[in-house]
Amino acid sequence: MMEQYIPFIFRGSERCLIVSGAIVIAVLGYKLFVLGSKGSHSEVSIKTKIADFFMKGSAPGLFFIICSCAILMAALYTGKVTADMGGKSQTK
């Protein structure tokens, strides 16, 4: 009887972990954005053989906020668990 609810429980807890992680990333990104917009020197630079990537001021905070929004949208869009009338559950 309980085994039909196991996919819902595990999938729900997985979604809660993903959403809470994205919220933590968004809050940290917001704090970095505020720190960069107040005039503090926050810089991120990555140098590779192909290109140089450089963000200065409030751009690193905006980058983290945009990444967390993408994680939240992907989490909401994918992985819905449905149950049919036969008691079997399947993931879409």
Q: Cα dist. 29→21, 41, 58, 62 in Å?
A: 12, 15, 9, 7
Partners of residue 81 on adjacent β-strands: 91
d(CA 15, CA 20): 8
Digitized pLDDT (tens) for each residue of the chain, 92 residues in all: 677 777 777 878 888 888 899 999 999 988 888 887 777 666 778 888 888 877 777 778 888 888 898 988 888 787 665 555 455 555 55
